Chains A and B, each alone.
Chain A
Amino acid sequence: MFSYPFDSSSIMLKKRSLKRELLKKEGLIEKRIAILSGTTIGEVKNILELFLLDSGIKPEFFEGEYGRYYEDLVFENTELREFEPDIIYIHTGIHNISNFPVAGSDEQTAKGLFLAEWNRFEEAISSAVAYGCPVVANNFEYPAVRVLGNRENYDVSGKVRFINELNLKLADFARLNEGLFINDINYLSALYGLEKWSDPTYYNSYKYGLNPDAIPLLCHSVSSIIKSIFGRNKKVLLLDLDNTLWGGVIGDDGVDGIELGIENPSGIAYSDLQRYAKELKGIGVLLGVVSKNEEGTAKSGFDHPSAILSADDFSVFIANWEDKASNIKRAAEILNLGSDSFVFADDNPAERELVEHSGLGVAVAKYTVPERFAENISRSGYFEATSMSEEDLIRAEMYSQNAMRESEKSRFSDYGEYLSSLEMKAGVGTFAERKQKRITQLINKTNQFNPTTRRYTEDEISEIEVDENYIKISARLEDKFGDNGIVCALIAKCRDKTATIELFVMSCRVFKRDLEKAVFDKLVETAVSKGIEAIEASYIRTPKNGFVETLYPDLGFLLFDESGEEKKYRYEIEKDYLKKNKHIEVMDE
Chain B
Amino acid sequence: MNREKIFLTVNEIFREIFDDPELSVTDKTDANDIEDWDSLEQINLLVAMEKKFLIKFSVDDVENLQNVGETVDLIIRKIEEKGDEQL
Contacts and interface: CB of A to CB of B under 8 A. Distances in A.
Nearest to A8: B51
B39 to A, nearest CB: 7
A14 B40 contact: no
A201 B58 contact: yes
23 contacts: A9-B48, A12-B47, A13-B16, A14-B19, A15-B17, A16-B17, A16-B18, A17-B16, A17-B19, A40-B40, A43-B43, A43-B44, A46-B40, A201-B56, A202-B43, A204-B59, A205-B43, A205-B59, A206-B43, A208-B43, A212-B43, A212-B44, A213-B47
Nearest to B19: A16
A14 B43 CA distance: 14
Contacts of B47: 9, 12, 212-213
A13 B51 CA distance: 11
A42 interface: yes
A46 B81 CA distance: 34
A205 B16 CA distance: 24
B58 to A, nearest CB: 7
Contacts of A46: 40
Contact of B19 (A12, A20, A43, A204): A20
Interface string B65-79: 000000000000000
A12 B44 contact: yes
A476 B43 CA distance: 55
B12 to A, nearest CB: 10
A43 B39 CA distance: 10
Contacts of A213: 47, 51
Contact of B62 (A9, A12, A43, A205): A205
A545 B18 CA distance: 38
A511 B4 CA distance: 66
Contacts of A20: 19
Nearest to A43: B40
Interface string A454-491: 00000000000000000000000000000000000000
Interface of B: 13, 16-19, 39-40, 43-44, 47-48, 51, 56-59, 62-63
Nearest to A20: B19
Which 5 interchain pairs have the tightest Cβ spacing? A16-B19, A42-B40, A13-B16, A17-B19, A9-B51
A16 B41 CA distance: 12
Contacts of A17: 16, 19
A13 B44 CA distance: 8
Contacts of A9: 47-48, 51
Nearest to B63: A205
B48 A12 contact: yes
B85 to A, nearest CB: 18
Contacts of B48: 9, 12-13
B84 to A, nearest CB: 21
A9 B47 CA distance: 9
A204 B16 CA distance: 27
A57 B17 CA distance: 23
A212 B47 CA distance: 8
B10 to A, nearest CB: 13
Interface in A10-42: 12-17, 20, 40, 42
Contacts of B40: 40, 42-43, 46
A40 B43 CA distance: 12
Given A205-B63, A206-B39, A213-B51, 10 more contacts: A12-B44, A12-B48, A14-B16, A16-B17, A16-B18, A16-B19, A17-B19, A201-B57, A212-B47, A213-B47
A204 B63 CA distance: 11
Contacts of B17: 13, 15-16
A201 B16 contact: no
Residue of B18, B40, B56, B62 most packed against chain A (CB within 10 A): B40
Interface in A175-232: 200-202, 204-206, 208, 212-213
Interface centre among A42, A46, A204, A205 (most CB of B within 10 A): A205
A21 to B, nearest CB: 11
A202 B59 CA distance: 8
Nearest to B38: A42
Contacts of B59: 200-201, 204-205
A13 B48 CA distance: 7
**Most chain A beta carbons < 10 A, residue from B13, B17, B56:** B17
Contacts of A204: 59
Nearest to B57: A201
Contacts of A43: 40, 43-44
A282 B50 CA distance: 45
A205 B39 CA distance: 11
Nearest to A17: B19
Interface string A256-291: 000000000000000000000000000000000000
Contacts of B43: 43, 202, 205-206, 208, 212
B15 to A, nearest CB: 10
Contacts of B63: 205
Contacts of B16: 13-14, 17
Nearest to B58: A201
A208 B46 CA distance: 14
A31 B44 CA distance: 27
Nearest to B48: A13
A213 B40 CA distance: 13
B75 to A, nearest CB: 16
